[in-house]
Each structure stands twice: as structure tokens, then as C-alpha cells.
Amino acid sequence: MKRRQFLKLAGAGGGAAAGAVAFAAPAIAQAEPAVRWRLASSAPKSLATVLGAAEYVARRVADATDQKFQIKAFAADEIVPQFKVLDAVQHGEVELGQSFSYYFIGKDPTLAFDAALPWGLNTRQQVAWITRGGGLELLREVFRDYNIYNIPAGNTGAQMGGWFRKEVRSLDELKGLKFRIGGWAGTVLSRIGVVPQQIPIPGIVPALASGAIDAAEWVGPYDDEKLGFNTAAKYYYYPGWWEGSTQFSVYVNLDRWRTLPKSYQAILELACAEAYSWSLAKYDVDNPAAMNRLLAGGTLLRSFGDDILQASFNAAFELYAETAAKNARFSKLYESWKSFREDSRLWLKVVEQSYDNFAYPRAVPKPKS
Amino acid sequence: MKRRQFLKLAGAGGGAAAGAVAFAAPAIAQAEPAVRWRLASSAPKSLATVLGAAEYVARRVADATDQKFQIKAFAADEIVPQFKVLDAVQHGEVELGQSFSYYFIGKDPTLAFDAALPWGLNTRQQVAWITRGGGLELLREVFRDYNIYNIPAGNTGAQMGGWFRKEVRSLDELKGLKFRIGGWAGTVLSRIGVVPQQIPIPGIVPALASGAIDAAEWVGPYDDEKLGFNTAAKYYYYPGWWEGSTQFSVYVNLDRWRTLPKSYQAILELACAEAYSWSLAKYDVDNPAAMNRLLAGGTLLRSFGDDILQASFNAAFELYAETAAKNARFSKLYESWKSFREDSRLWLKVVEQSYDNFAYPRAVPKPKS
């Protein structure tokens, strides 16, 4: 190589970076290790935004480490069964997981605070409680028992209340309905007379179409449309009061976490923070578009009546009080969460809700001609 | 050093990291450069959350680069005058700035889309438009003319409507009031009869206390309390419809940006994303606490009437239509923003507002005894 050519190449590559250093200290050659980890998600491929958030984390971690820290994300059941993600991370079968922690309330109902509780915090509140309200520290204590370092890494926002074959005009009309819904939402609904049904994902729409069940819920327009709920039921209800905000987290095997360089630990946390906003923003852009398509196709929007909302609100908090009475750890998180909720709702009601209540119903006025 | 001792030290340091590598490729010794940059903020020290977000970015960038990329944040007027931050970054006097871009609408009103417009998007919508609605790409085009790479890096959430010496019970009572408020908010208010006043920060509270002005606005309870607004006026109004969401950004001198290694570019973006959530969460936790103190101290909360809200809503969108008619770039962003707003408000009204409207007014029910 000729000397001139070498200089040109040097200037185009590393030389440019060196030129940027305003107050450069002598660079110390210190190699960060190459790391290749696997992430097992509980999200099937159809949940493109949730699985996409895991892939987003992987891409950004690679960007930030000059491709040295590589994560490969796998959908539910590809390398770990959907509901075994926590176990697999706990026991080091994979280094990383991604899941909705309410899938694991059979182990400890306290885990629900990491995802959603019926009539729980909305997304804005969840982020504040987690980030600055002490929530994350409390959840880390819980996950430590599962040998996991948990990092919040996304949110669906408030979800829809599901698809119903017939209109539900009162609490009485809700009673006795067979509703495909799981977890604590099912428990709360059963307390107000609904008959919860557990059906694996591929079976939901056929069961709804045949009338074997009366209603089913999944996420929101963008995800529901892909599974075809609108072909099986006409009435689409809101709000999804059992998931006023649904957070998903990245789980890191704690032994593996401790062996990461501190810089990689920070980068993984930062990538999860960016993925959190990214996933919510993606839902916020994709959901309205999907809703418009559904409505154009004949779906009818309906809201649950206040009798249903009030009954479910009361039933939910009765369940939490009962759970807190017999589970000290649940009680500890519940006290923090309740106290945060109380201060927060009064503030957001003033400053955010008054703004939204005026702005949301109003289109941009047409300019005067 | 004895050999045994050396091995022990090696095991405690780099060896631990190496042990973590499940599928380790040979580590390539490649030193990332040491970079020391200065950040000039438009936030005075009293805006602890905004300036704190810049310091937060600095800390996380250092964490993620093994302390190699160091940023030092300076408050307004320490190294750059408060309203010269954009200029200073543009001309490379500092590598980084942090500001509210509506400070610079004198250069181009289009810059307001990076911060806040009266009756603009709320925080949830702003993040979605920026992240997935095309907003960031459009704003990057605008900032490129100022030789800046802009990265959104925080938000105050919806702000309060300011402090009034007397109650304002109608649009008529608002007319003629001397109100300390700047930027487009002042322009919109002047169109509905208010007399906007520009007063530097240290002079605001004395002017309000003496009656030289009738009203003044700043941010929200946490920031306002520190400046002592509550000692000068009794009525605290909401909503702050001119700042339904106020975003602040980190500005990077574009020449400097291009010389950063790609990994540092990614890390700076990631740190800004985490700081965005952190700052909003900090406001969401600190504001209710401050509001409680203010109310306990005699501050009286009041809401603007619908006549004031409607008049300001109309005036704001008239201003934007006029601006769009004579500024092609403003028009381009406005069309994207308006179209996003329309889809978004209809969706959030259904799914989020219906949830909040039921949840916010309700305290957690007392358990049955």
C-alpha cells in the first residue's frame, strides 16, 4: 500500500474518531469481552411488538458494544416453553428471558406488580412508581429469590376489554358468560359472576366463533386483528380494566449478570429503557391504524357500564386486601404501590386529565378561509 | 508480586468477566477513545430535574463506556448564556447542549415541535409521534440546518396554568391581565386579550408579589415552590394548556457527532432515552408531594373555565394555520403532527381516558373488617 493511500484510509476510519477527542486522555487498550447470550421470550411471533422489543434490545446492545455483546431472541416455545421462561432463566438454561410477570403469580402473586393488576396503575404511573417511587427496588428483592435481575423493558399501554358475541348492557348480563381470560383478571371476573375459561392461543378464535365461549380478550386492535377476533365476534369492549398498563420485563440470570462487565450491565439496562418507550410508541401508532381498519370492517365499539366497572373495582381491591393479609411480601409491595397510587391519581387528575378531557374530544379546527 | 497473589487478583478482575462468556469469541483488543465533552444547559440550577437529566445522561454514558466518555454538564449561564445554547452548539463552542427548543422559535417556529405548542400533544402522544410517528426524522432535518443532531432527553409532563393574584372566573376576567409568560403561549394569550410580560426568572416572584403583574407561570408544584410563587399569589390554575407536554432535548454539534465511534453514538442516544423516562418519573413523584405541601400552606387550586380553554384552543390553531401558510417547513411538520394527533386522540380517548376517568377519582376502598 502506498503511503498516501494509507493516510487516506486512516483518516476515513479510526483517525476521524481520534480527531473528535477534544480533551483526549491517552487511550488505554482494554478489550471488552465478546458475549453471546440467548433470550427466551414468552411472546409468540404474533405479538410482534413484544417480541420486537426483545429484538430491539438485542440490536441496541450490539450497537453500543461495537457488536461484541450479542443477544439472540427466541419466540415462545422455540427454545423454552412460553410459561417456563422464568424457570429457564432462574436455572441458567438461558441467560435472558422476556415475559409478562403475571404469568407466574402461581409462584407468588407479588410478581403481578411487575406486569399488571386489575384496576392497577396506568402506564404513566407504572413507570413513575418503578423508576422513582421505589417499585423497582422492591421488585428486585422479589426476583432475587428466583436468581433473576429484572429490567422493565416494555409496555403495551392500556388494553382493550375484549370481544363479545352479544352486547353486555349491565352487570346482570355479564353474569354467567364464558369469558376466555386468565390470571387475576379471571379471579376478579369470577367474583362478579363471570365464568373464566383458559384456552391456548390457537383455540381462542375458533371457540369464540362456534359459541363455545361468549367472549375473549387478548391485547388490543393491532394484536387482536392478526388473530382474527373480529371474524368471530362483533362487539369490542373497553376499557380493559384488568390491564390498564401491562409491563413486560427482561429477566437476567443473576449469576450471569454478576459476571458482566459494569459497562455491559449499564448498556443492557439502557437498551431496555429505550425499548420500553419504543414498544409503547409502536403500540400507540399501530393500534389506532388497526382500530380504524376494524371499525371500517364492521366491528362495533362498546364501553362497559359503570356498574360493571364499580363491581370489578371493589372485587379487585378485596382480592388484594385478602392476599396482603396472608402474604407479607405482597403486603410490602402493596403498601408502597397503594400509597404511590393515592398521591399520583390526585395529581394526574388535576394536571393531565383536565388537559386530556378538553383536548381528546376536539379535532383541530378547520382554518378560516 | 507472588504468582498466587497475581492469579487471585486476575480472577477478581477481568477473569470474572471472562468466566461469564458462554460462547466467547476471541476478544480483540480495541481501545475506544477517551472523550471529554462539555454540555451547556438552558436550565438554571433551580430546575433540578431538567439539569439533573443532563447530569443523569453524563453519569450513564460514563457507566456504559467504562468511564471513557466523560460529559460535564453546566447550568444556564455558567459557560453559555441561557438562550444562547443552540448557537453555542451550532458553532462548536461546546460539544453538547440541553434546552427547550421553543426558546428558539425566533429562528424558526418549527423548532417548537421539539418542545411544546399550546394545545399540542400530551406527553404520551409526543413520545409516540417522535419515536414511531415520523416526528424525530422530521425534526432531525430541521436541526441539521443548525449543525445539530438532536436527541429528545426528557419531559416535564403537563404543566400548571400558573399563579394568579385574583380568581379568574371567565374569559372576560382574564382580559387585560398582565401575565408573565413567553413564547407562543404569550402570542396565543395576547389573541384572547391577555397582556404577556417578559420578566427574567429572579424578577418574577417580586413582580407578582408587588402587583406589578397579575399572574405568572413557570412549571409545576415542584419547581414553582422552590421559587416561592406561593408566597406571592394564592390561586394556582390548571391546566397549563400551553404546555400539555414539554420536551427537552440534548443537542450534539453535528461535526462532533460524526466523529464519535458508532458505539458512543448509540450509548449517548440510549442514555438520553433512559433520562427521558427518569425525568418524567421524577416530576411525577416530586410534583404530588410539592402540591400537597402547597395546598397545606394555603394555596387554592382553580381550573380555567371552558370559555377560556375554547378561546385559547381556537386561537392556537389559527396561529398554526397562519404560520403554516407562510413557512413550508412548519407546514410539513404540522401536517404530520396534525394527522398523528387525530388518530391518536381517538384511540387514547377510548382506551386510556375511559380507564383514567374511572380510576383517578377513586381511592382504594377500605378492606371489609
Question: Looking at residues B269-286, what average pLDDT do you find?
Answer: 98
Task: Fill in the amino acid letter for B22.
Answer: A
DSSP symbol at B118: T
Question: Looking at residues A153-170, what average pLDDT do you find?
Answer: 98
Of the candidates B65, B86, B155, the residue with the CA atom closest to the CA atom of residue B116: B155
- Cα separation, A161 vs A240, in Å, equals 4
Give the per-residue pLDDT at A236: 98
Domain ranges of chain A: 3-26+33-157+246-285, 162-243+297-351
Q: Would you call B38 helix, strand, or coil by DSSP? A: strand
- Cα separation, B219 vs B156, in Å, equals 8
- Judged against a pLDDT cut of 80, whether residue B11 lies above it is answered with no
- Judged against a pLDDT cut of 60, whether residue B5 lies above it is answered with no
Give the per-residue pLDDT at A182: 86
Query: B298 with B234: CB under 8 angstroms?
Result: yes
Taking CB atoms and an 8 Å cutoff, what residues of chain B touch A303? Answer: 354
Judging by beta carbons within 10 Å of its beta carbon (0-12, 13-18, 19+), is residue A215 exposed, middle or buried?
A: buried
Q: Would you call B99 helix, strand, or coil by DSSP? A: strand
Q: What is the pLDDT of residues B279-312, one digit of tens each?
A: 999 999 999 999 999 999 999 999 999 999 999 9
- Judged against a pLDDT cut of 90, whether residue A149 lies above it is answered with yes
Q: What is the DSSP string of B139-186?
A: HHHHHHTTTEEEEEEEE--SBP-EEESS---SHHHHTT-EEE--HHHH
Taking CA–CA distances from B273, the nearest residue in chain A reads A274
- Judged against a pLDDT cut of 50, whether residue A328 lies above it is answered with yes
Taking CB atoms and an 8 Å cutoff, what residues of chain B touch A30? Answer: 29, 31, 66
Question: Looking at residues A45-71, what average pLDDT do you find?
Answer: 98
Grid coordinates belonging to A97? 428471558
| CA–CA min distance B7, chain A (Å) | 17
* pLDDT band at residue A23 using 50, 70 and 90 as cut-offs: very low
- Cα separation, A64 vs B63, in Å, equals 12
Give the per-residue pLDDT at A367: 80
Taking CB atoms and an 8 Å cutoff, what residues of chain B touch A130? Answer: 281
Residue B92 Rama label (left phi>0; alpha psi -120 to 50; beta): left
| CA–CA min distance A112, chain B (Å) | 17
Give the per-residue pLDDT at A8: 33
Taking CB atoms and an 8 Å cutoff, what residues of chain A touch B269? Answer: 274
Query: A126 with B283: CB under 8 angstroms?
Result: no
Nearest to A65 among B260, B263, B306 (CB): B263
Tell which CATH classification among 3.50.50.60, 1.10.10.10, 3.40.50.720, 3.40.190.170 matches the domain A3-26+33-157+246-285.
Answer: 3.40.190.170
Query: Helix-strand-coil percent breakdown of chain B, rounded to 5?
Result: 55, 15, 30
Give the per-residue pLDDT at A65: 97
- Judged against a pLDDT cut of 50, whether residue B313 lies above it is answered with yes
- Judged against a pLDDT cut of 50, whether residue A324 lies above it is answered with yes
Grid coordinates belonging to A189? 371476573
**What pTM did the predictor assign?**
0.92
Task: Mark yes or no for CB contact A269/B271 under 8 Å.
Answer: no
CA neighbours closer than 13 Å in the CB half-sphere of residue B339: 11
Task: Mark yes or no for CB contact A238/B351 under 8 Å.
Answer: yes
CA B344 to chain centre: 21
| CA–CA min distance A209, chain B (Å) | 25
- Cα separation, A242 vs A51, in Å, equals 22
| CA–CA min distance A127, chain B (Å) | 7
- Judged against a pLDDT cut of 60, whether residue B174 lies above it is answered with yes
Nearest to A157 among B66, B314, B352 (CB): B352
* pLDDT band at residue A9 using 50, 70 and 90 as cut-offs: very low
Q: How many CB pairs under 8 A join A and B?
A: 339
Taking CA–CA distances from B289, the nearest residue in chain A reads A343
Q: Which residues contact B133 (CB under 8 A, 6 or more apart)?
A: A281, A285, B336, B340
Q: Which of A82-86, B119-123, B180-184, B185-189 has the lowest mean pLDDT?
A: B180-184
Give the per-residue pLDDT at B10: 31
Q: What is the pLDDT of residues B147-168, one digit of tens each?
A: 999 999 999 999 999 999 999 9
Query: A283 with A156: CB under 8 angstroms?
Result: yes
Question: Looking at residues B31-36, what average pLDDT do you find?
Answer: 90
- Judged against a pLDDT cut of 90, whether residue A1 lies above it is answered with no
Q: What is the pLDDT of residues B329-358, one digit of tens each?
A: 999 999 999 999 999 999 999 999 999 999
| CA–CA min distance A288, chain B (Å) | 5
Query: A299 with A164: CB under 8 angstroms?
Result: no
Nearest to B341 among A64, A131, A364 (CB): A364
Give the per-residue pLDDT at A5: 36
Give the per-residue pLDDT at A32: 85
Query: Helix-strand-coil percent breakdown of chain A, rounded to 5?
Result: 55, 15, 30
Task: Mark yes or no for CB contact B360/A338 under 8 Å.
Answer: no
Percentage of chain A beyond pLDDT 70 is 92
Task: Mark yes or no for CB contact A260/B20 under 8 Å.
Answer: yes
Residue B221: asked if its preceding bond is cis (omega within 30°), the reply is no
Question: Looking at residues A82-103, what average pLDDT do you find?
Answer: 98
Of the candidates A34, A95, A358, A152, the residue with the CA atom closest to the CA atom of residue B304: A358
Taking CA–CA distances from B354, the nearest residue in chain A reads A239
- Judged against a pLDDT cut of 80, whether residue B369 lies above it is answered with no
- Judged against a pLDDT cut of 50, whether residue A12 lies above it is answered with no
- Cα separation, B118 vs B313, in Å, equals 8
| CA–CA min distance B338, chain A (Å) | 7
Q: Which CATH class name applies to A162-243+297-351?
A: alpha beta
Give the per-residue pLDDT at B30: 57
- Judged against a pLDDT cut of 50, whether residue B26 lies above it is answered with no
Q: Which of A188-197, B4-13, B204-213 has the lowest mean pLDDT?
A: B4-13
Q: Which of A278-287, B4-13, B68-77 has the lowest mean pLDDT?
A: B4-13
Query: A227 with A205: CB under 8 angstroms?
Result: yes
Task: Mark yes or no for CB contact B27/A20 under 8 Å.
Answer: no
- Cα separation, B328 vs B339, in Å, equals 17
Cell 394527533, located at residue: B341
CA neighbours closer than 13 Å in the CB half-sphere of residue A222: 21
Task: Mark yes or no for CB contact A273/B274 under 8 Å.
Answer: yes
Give the per-residue pLDDT at B182: 86
